[in-house]
Amino acid sequence: MCEANVYVMNKNVEELLLERVDTIIPKDREIYLENIFGERKTIEARIKELHLVDHKIILERFEKG
C-alpha cells in the first residue's frame, strides 16, 4: 500500500500527526486528511514537502502574524 505518514513541523522537529494517510485535500488554510483506517483530521497548516517513496508528507503551521 502506498499511503504516507503525515508529520507537522514543530520547532524544527517532525511530529507525527496521522499514519497511513491516503487522501489529502487542502482547502483555504486547512488541510483535510483521511487514512486507510477511516480516521480523519483537519489541521490549519500548509503542505511543506512530499516524499512519496519514503512515505512521508510534511506539513507546517502558518506563522503567527
Chain residues in the site for its own copies (CB under 8 A): 1-4, 21-26, 36, 46-53, 55
The residue type of 27 is: K
State the Cα–Cα distance between residues 60 and 25, nearest whole angstrom. Answer: 15
C-alpha cell at 22: 491516503
CB of 45 to its own copies, least distance (A): 12
Side-chain-facing half-sphere of 61: CA atoms under 13 Å: 13
Q: Kindly tell me which of 11 and 27 has the beta carbon lying closer to its own copies.
A: 27
CB of 64 to its own copies, least distance (A): 19
CB of 7 to its own copies, least distance (A): 15
